[in-house]
């Protein structure tokens, strides 16, 4: 169990994280979200032991995670951290990078494990390619596989799929998160992407004003976002009569007391996002077809 107790941390004088407490069980997947600069990366670094805390304690089971003041070498064997900048060895191959920290004394096991992880990150075809010739997204996949190589008990992932194109992202995300669940690896992911949360995360922590604003189930937060900050993470939304209404909760009907005038239609694939004016305020709703500017439509709020 990861047990973070009243953690406070500042780089300079102003705290970046204040009184952060949460727990994560073995195999649990916790997503950390928040606006840019809210401290997500800092939290991962502090959990990894890269910095000393101003206050508080972090434990993995009974072991306290300590910073550089108490540890000559940052980090612990049971924990891996994949940063936004990947620290790979450019002049050796993908397979060599992944197998780098696996024991040479068990060559068959090393080869099996390397092959398994290359499959997880879909890089088998690139096994013998030197890392310096890979794209940013391919390097990110090598960094993920390398972090998993020695089977950590807990992994800290900072925007793990940020460099990966949309063609690969969906299947890669499923592979990696499934692998972590199947192997009971606790996973703390800092992310901007709701796709990393919905469908995968067991819990979702929202950082705001240096603190944990909420820590709850993703489904609960999606259904009851309570604040615009949380709603905006999940998608386009409106505040109507002090209630948060997602764009997909506004349905076009024949007649109602919500009359909107269309400003613009955005093609979104299986629907159009319509930007309009409702009582002189911007409103966003979804429609199955495009509407021209000036069209008047009636809207109804659905659950
Ligand atoms: N090494 C550092 N020294 C001083 N201040 C820092 C350092 N790293 C980050 N900060 C500051 O700490 C705050 C939190 O930054 P952090 O990178 O943790 O945010 P984040 O939520 O991960 O942002 P993003 O989503 O943009 O990656 C910011 O105000 C940032 O300027």
Q: What would the DSSP string read from start to end of the chain?
A: -EEEEEEEEESSSSEEEEEEEEEE-TT-EEEEE-STTSSHHHHHHHHHTSS--SEEEEEETTEEP--TTT-SS-S-TTEEEE-SS----TTSBHHHHHHTTS-TT-HHHHHHHHHHHHHHTT-GGGTTSBGGGS-HHHHHHHHHHHHHHT--SEEEEESTTTTS-HHHHHHHHHHHHHHHHHTT-EEEEE-S-GGGTTTT-SEEEEEETTEEEEEE-HHHHHH---SHHHHHHHS-EEEETTEEEEGGGEEEESS-SEEEEEEEEEE-SSSEEEEEEETTEEEEEEESS---TT-EEEEEE--
Q: Give the pLDDT of residue 263.
A: 98
| CA of residue 291 to ligand 1 center, whole Å | 42
pLDDT of residue 202: 97
Q: How far is the CA of 205 from the centre of ligand 1 (A)?
A: 17
- Residue found by looking up tokens 């800290």 in the block: 156
Radius of gyration of the chain (CA): 23
Q: What's the pTM value of the predicted model, to 2 decimals?
A: 0.93
**Closest CA to ligand 1's atom 25:** 36
Ligand 1, from 40, 43, 50, 206: best to mutate by most atoms within 8 Å of Cβ? 40
Dihedral pair phi/psi, residue 267, rounded to 5°:
-70, 125
CA of 142 to the centre of ligand 1 (A): 25
| Residue 172, pLDDT score | 93
CA end-to-end span of the chain: 37
Other C-beta atoms within 10 Å of 276: how many?
23
Query: Could you identify the atom of ligand 1 that is nearest to the CA of residue 11?
Result: 4
pLDDT of residue 166: 85
Res 283: pLDDT:
97
Distance 277 CA to ligand 1 centre (A): 37
Q: Would you state the pLDDT for residue 106?
A: 87
Residue of 33, 37, 81, 207 with the most ligand 1 atoms within 8 Å of its CB, for mutation:
37
> Which residue, by CA, sits nearest to atom 1 of ligand 1?
11
Whether the Cβ atoms of residue 31 and residue 23 lie closer than 8 Å to each other: no
User: How much is the ipTM here?
Assistant: 0.98
Mean pLDDT per 10-residue run, the chain (303 residues)? Answer: 97 94 98 95 97 97 95 92 90 95 89 95 96 94 94 96 89 95 97 91 96 96 94 94 94 96 97 96 96 97 90
Say if CB 186 and CB 152 are below 8 A apart.
no
Residues with a CB atom less than 6 Å from ligand 1? 11, 16, 34, 36-42, 190
Among protein residues, the one with the nearest Cα to ligand 1's atom 2 is 11
Are the C-beta atoms of 261 and 279 separated by less than 8 Å?
no
Structural domains of the chain, ranges and CATH numbers in brackets: 2-223 (3.40.50.300), 238-301 (2.40.50.140)
């Amino acid at each position: 169990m990861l047990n973070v107790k009243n953690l406070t941390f500042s780089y300079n004088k102003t705290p970046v994280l204040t009184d952060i407490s949460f727990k994560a069980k073995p195999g649990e997947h916790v997503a950390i979200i928040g606006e840019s600069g809210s401290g997500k990366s800092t939290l991962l670094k502090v959990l990894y032991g890269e910095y000393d805390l101003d206050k508080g304690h972090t434990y993995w089971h009974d072991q306290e995670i300590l910073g550089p003041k108490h540890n000559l070498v940052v980090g612990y064997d049971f924990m891996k951290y994949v940063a936004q900048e990947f620290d790979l060895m450019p002049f050796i191959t993908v397979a060599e990078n992944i197998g780098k920290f696996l024991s040479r004394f068990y060559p068959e096991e090393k080869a099996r494990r390397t092959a398994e992880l290359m499959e997880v990150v879909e890089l088998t075809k690139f096994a013998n390619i030197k890392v310096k010739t890979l794209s940013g997204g391919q390097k990110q996949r090598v960094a993920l596989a390398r972090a998993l190589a020695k089977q950590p008990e807990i992994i800290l992932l900072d925007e793990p799929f940020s460099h990966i194109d949309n063609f690969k992202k969906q299947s890669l995300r499923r592979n990696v998160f499934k692998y972590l669940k199947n192997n009971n690896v606790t996973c703390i992911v800092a992310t901007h992407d709701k796709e990393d949360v919905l469908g995968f995360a067991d819990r979702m922590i929202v950082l705001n004003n240096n603190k944990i604003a909420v820590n709850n189930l993703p489904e609960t937060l999606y259904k009851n976002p309570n604040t615009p900050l949380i709603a905006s993470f999940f998608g386009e939304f409106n505040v109507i009569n002090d209630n948060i209404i997602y764009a997909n909760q506004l349905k076009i009907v024949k007649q109602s007391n919500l009359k909107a005038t269309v400003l613009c239609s955005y093609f979104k694939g299986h629907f159009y996002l319509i930007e309009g004016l409702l009582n002189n305020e911007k409103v966003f709703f979804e429609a199955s077809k495009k509407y021209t500017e000036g069209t008047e439509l009636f809207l109804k709020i659905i659950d």
